Amino acid sequence: MTPKGTRPPHLGPVGVLRPDGSPVDSIIDSGGRELLQEDDPVGAEAWASALLGMFEGACRQARLDGTEVPPFEESLLLRCRQRRDKRAVAVAAALAGILPPPHDHLATTVISELRGVVAGVPSWVGNVGQATPTASWLASDVFGDQDSLIVGFGQEGAPGEHALVVLVDHNLSGQAKDAWIGTDFHEVVASWKSNTDGHMRMAEVPIEEALIRLRDAVAMSDLWNGDTDLRTEDFARHRALIRARLRRAGLTEDRPSELQVGLAERENLIREFMASSHGRGLSGSLATVDVELLAHHLVDLRSDYEGRPLRWSPTVVSLLLGDLAPRKLLLDADEAANLPAVVRAFVRFSADRSGLPQAFVDETLATVDEVEPEFLGRISDPAAAGPAKAVLAALQASGVDLSDVDAINEALQLGDPMQLPRAAPKKRRRTVAAPADVVASAERSPVLGRLGVLATFYGDGRRLRRPVDPRWPMRRSSWRCSGRGTRSTWHSATAPSRPGRPRSYLSSGSRSGGPSLQERSGKSTASSAPPWRGGIWIPDRWSGG
C-alpha cells in the first residue's frame, strides 16, 4: 500500500488491538490515546468514520456468513459510559459527531454524562459534527465519465476551511468510489485548477447542487454495497463522515434521485436522429437493415443503464459494444454487422447536440473501430448472452414467434425443460512439463524437501505468484506529488487525469479504480460466425443443430 497523504505521527492505524484487555477496551485505549493528542475536530471525525467503516465491513461479513451481527457501536458506547475516563470521553465524543440514528442519541447521552464528571477533555469535544458547507466545485472529464465533487467546510475549532472530495463514476451507475479530506480547501481547488490536461473541466457549482449530487452518489454506492471491489478503502473509511455531513445539511433520503428517460422523450430523440444528416445518411447506405430499430436499441440501453442517452465516450462505447449489446440484444446477421455503423452515426449526432469537440469525438469513434471485432465475436457467443436473450434465442430456434406474447407465454408454460447455454470454459495456462530427471533431482534436494509445496507447481502451469489485483494489467500508473505531503497514487486508465492531493486526514490505504474491461482476446469476425436460421443468428449450442 502507498500513502495518500501525511498522517500526524501520533495517530496510528484504526482498529489495531492491543494484546491486553478486551477488544472493546483495546479500541478505547488505543483510539483514546490518539484522540487525546488531536487538536482538530475534523481529525477526530475522520478517526470515528474509519472505525465505523471497519465495523461495517465486519457486519457485512457476518451477514454473508449467516451469523448474528454484533452490536459494535452500542457495546463501545456503553463501555465508555462505564469507564468514565478521558480516553472514553474522547472516543464517545468522536462517535457522537458521526453516528447515524438510532445510535446517535445514545452517543449524545453518554458524552453529556461523561463531560460532567471527567476533567481535562480535549478542546474539540464540543465541536465535532458541527461542520458547515461554504463552497463547492465540480471537476469532470470532458466525456462525463467521472466527476470529482469538491465541497469546502468550515468548522469551529478547525483551522481554516477543509475540503471533502468524492469521486463519482457515471459508468458505474453514478456511484461514489473514492473519497478523501484535504486540510485546506483553497489549496485543493488551486491544485485542481493548475491541471493542464485537456480532458479536464472545472467549474464552481451551488452548494445545494453539490450536496444533492453527493447524496445521490453515496446512495447509489449503498445500493451496490456488496460490490466492495468497486470502491476504494478510503471511501469505506470516509463514508460515515460523508453521511453525517449530509444529515446535517438535511439530506437524509437514502435513495438516489432517478434519471428516467420516458418513452416520449426516447421517441422524440429517435425522430431527431433519423431526421438529422447522420440518420439520413445511414438510411441510404444501410438499405438492408432497420436503422431506426438499431437506434432504438442504443437509446434504450443508454437510457436504462445511465439515463443520459446523449453521453458517449470511449469507455461507454467499450461497455456497450463489449458487454451490454452482446448480453441484451438478439440481432439478425445484417443488424449485428451494421450496429457499429449506427453507433458511429449516433456518436456524431450526440456530439452535435452536446457540443463535444471534434478531437474527443474522434477518440470515441476510434474506440468503436477497436471494439468492433470483439463485438462481432461476442454477439454470436451464447456464453456472452444474458438469461433473457438466451431464452428468447432458444424460443426462436424452436419456431416461436417472438412478436406474439401469448405464444411466448404458452411455450414457456407448456414446453419441455429448456437448457440454457453453458458459459464457455476458461482458458487455462499450460507449460511444458519438467523433464523427469529434473523432477527427480528436485525431489531429492534437501531444500525442496523442506519446501515440498513447491513440487506442486511442476507441470500444471500454475503461476508462482499472482498480482494483488488481477485487473492491474488493464491500468496505467500515474504518479503525482503535491501539497504538504508526498504520496504516490495510481488510478484506472478510464479515470480522468487529476492533480495531486494536499494532505489528507486519513492517509493509509491503497488506490483502486473501478472494474476494468475484460482483457480482449480471441476476437473473431462475422466471417467465422455460426449459421443463421430463419433470419435469426442461432448458434448451434442454442438450437441443438
- pLDDT of 4 higher than 70: no
- What is the phi/psi pair of residue 262, to 5°? -70, 165
- Residue entry with cell 484487555: 21
Domain locations in the chain as residue ranges: 23-126, 132-257, 263-391+523-543
- Contact yes or no for 131/40 (Cβ under 8 A): no
- Residue entry with cell 451496490: 224
Query: CA 435 to CA 415: how far, in whole Å?
Result: 55
Query: CA 509 to CA 40: how far, in whole Å?
Result: 22
With CA atoms as reference, report the closest residue to 78 among 24, 17, 22, 16: 24
CA 532 → CA 13, 393, 497, distances in Å? 61, 12, 45
With CA atoms as reference, report the closest residue to 245 among 167, 138, 166, 139: 166
pLDDT of residue 368: 96
pLDDT of residue 119: 86
Whether a cis peptide bond, with omega within 30° of 0, leads into 470 is: no
Query: CA 340 to CA 349: how far, in whole Å?
Result: 14
Query: CA 151 to CA 133: how far, in whole Å?
Result: 7
Q: Indicate the DSSP class of residue 184.
A: -
Query: CA 495 to CA 478: how far, in whole Å?
Result: 11
With CA atoms as reference, report the closest residue to 403 among 273, 536, 526: 536
pLDDT-derived band at 79, boundaries 50, 70, 90: very high
- pLDDT of 109 higher than 50: yes
DSSP strand pairing (161-169 vs 536-537): unpaired
- Contact yes or no for 448/442 (Cβ under 8 A): yes
All three cell numbers of 163, joined, read 475540503
Question: Taking the CA of residue 74 as centre, how many other CA atoms within 13 Å lie in the half-sphere pointing to its CB?
Answer: 6
pLDDT-derived band at 436, boundaries 50, 70, 90: low
Q: Indicate the DSSP class of residue 527.
A: G
3-state helix, strand, coil in the chain (%, to 5): 50, 10, 40
| Helix 333-354 vs helix 277-285: crossing angle, to nearest 10 | 160
Contacts of 390 (CB under 8 A, 6+ apart): 382, 420, 421, 542
Whether pTM > 0.85 for this model: the answer is no
- Contact yes or no for 3/508 (Cβ under 8 A): yes
Residue 60 in 3-state DSSP?
helix
Tell me the sheet residues that pair with 165. Answer: 150, 180
Give, for 74, the enclosing helix (H) or strand (E): helix 72-83
- What is the phi/psi pair of residue 440, to 5°? -60, -40
- pLDDT of 310 higher than 50: yes
pLDDT of residue 243: 94
Quote the distance between the C-alpha of residue 465 and its chain's center: 26
Query: CA 190 to CA 294: how far, in whole Å?
Result: 45
pLDDT-derived band at 7, boundaries 50, 70, 90: very low
pLDDT of residue 285: 80
All three cell numbers of 329, joined, read 440484444
CA 478 → CA 27, 158, 491, 497, distances in Å? 36, 32, 7, 8
DSSP strand pairing (146-154 vs 161-169): antiparallel
- pLDDT of 153 higher than 90: yes
pLDDT-derived band at 222, boundaries 50, 70, 90: confident
- 196 vs 140, residue with greater confidence: 140
Q: Name residue 202's amino acid.
A: M
Quote the distance between the C-alpha of residue 69 and its chain's center: 26
Contacts of 517 (CB under 8 A, 6+ apart): 318, 319, 322, 323, 474
Query: CA 48 to CA 502: how far, in whole Å?
Result: 21
With CA atoms as reference, report the closest residue to 63 among 225, 255, 233, 238: 225
- pLDDT of 12 higher than 70: no
DSSP string across 296-345: HHHHHHHHHHTS-TT---HHHHHHIIIIIHHHH----HHHHHHHHHHHHH
Q: Which residues of 123-148 are buried (b: 16+ CB within 10 A; e: fewer)?
A: ebbebbbbbebebbbbbbbbbbbbbb
Q: What is the pLDDT of residues 482-516, one digit of tens each?
A: 333 322 222 333 333 333 333 334 333 333 333 32
Kindly state the percentage of the chain with pLDDT values over 90. 40
- pLDDT of 114 higher than 70: yes
pLDDT-derived band at 15, boundaries 50, 70, 90: very low
Tell me the sheet residues that pair with 151. Answer: 136, 164
At residue 409's C-alpha, the angle toward residues 532 and 392, to 5°, is: 25
- 382 vs 475, residue with greater confidence: 382
Query: CA 58 to CA 65: how far, in whole Å?
Result: 11
| Mean pLDDT, residues 323-352 taken together | 91
pLDDT-derived band at 419, boundaries 50, 70, 90: low
